[in-house]
Amino acid sequence: MADDVRIYTICVCITVALVGTPQLWRWMRGTAEERLHWLATVAINLAILLGTFEALRAHADGGIRVYLVAVAMTWLLAAVLYRPVHTVLERHRPTNKEKP
């Protein structure tokens, strides 16, 4: 079971990287606080990706940390997806002109 959760965590880490990479231009022009948040996101994502991959490859014992990391990465994915999803929903929101 722990190996399945580790594979899930690796998939989420890769998804965070894929979704977050196009947003890099935004944090390069953001405030210092936004840049720190994005740098922390990149660092934690890379650290968890490498650590989970190494633990999976070494067949290390699982524990509560495996599940906590999976939950944390799911929250990180939600944070990274927030702006793109919000932008798409705003574009498709009906305006007063479109209402009958």
Could you please report the per-residue DSSP string of 19-81? HHGGGHHHHHSS-HHHHHHHHHHHHHHHHHHHHHHHHHHTT----HHHHHHHHHHHHHHHHHH
pLDDT tens for 31-58 read 888 888 888 999 999 999 999 999 999 9
| Residue 34 lies inside a defined structural domain of this protein | yes
| Residue 96 lies inside a defined structural domain of this protein | no
Burial class (CB in 10 A: 0-12, 13-18, 19+), 10: middle
| Residue 98 lies inside a defined structural domain of this protein | no
| Residue 54 lies inside a defined structural domain of this protein | yes
How much is the average pLDDT of 8-15? 96
Contact 27, 84 (CB under 8 A): no
Contact 74, 9 (CB under 8 A): no
| Residue 100 lies inside a defined structural domain of this protein | no
| Residue 18 lies inside a defined structural domain of this protein | yes
Residue numbers of the domain that contains 68: 2-91
Domain count, the chain: 1
| Residue 28 lies inside a defined structural domain of this protein | yes
Contact 66, 6 (CB under 8 A): yes
- Whether the pLDDT of residue 79 is over 70: the answer is yes
What pLDDT does 86 receive?
A: 85
- Whether the pLDDT of residue 13 is over 90: the answer is yes
pTM: 0.81
| Residue 97 lies inside a defined structural domain of this protein | no
